Amino acid sequence: MNRAKNFWILLLLLMTGIVLGGFIGNMASGVRGLSWLNYGQSFGLMDPVVLDLGILVITFGLSIRVTMASIIGVVIALIAYRLI
């Protein structure tokens, strides 16, 4: 049970680090000295795939943007997990 709890804490910390890092990267993009935090790469399905079954239309799409700030957020999350 303790191992499962540790996994969920790690997952929560990693997601928090990614989201906060992306947010900080977007906010810092307009600041002259911190614009490097928003530098990154996007990958995934840029155009969504549409499956039309007549009655039901399903749209699939996934795009991930990895920025320097999100990488720093993940590293901080891993350090925080090790300290817990």
The residue type of 19 is V
Structure tokens at 79: 């350090």
| Cβ–Cβ under 8 Å, residues 51 and 6 | no
User: pTM for this structure?
Assistant: 0.76
How large a percentage of the chain has pLDDT more than 90? 43
- How far is 69 from 36, CA to CA, in rounded Å? 9
Measured between alpha carbons, how far is 27 from 69 in angstroms, rounded to an integer? 10
Over residues 8-63, the pLDDT tens digits come to 889 999 999 999 998 998 898 888 888 888 888 888 888 889 999 989 999 999 88
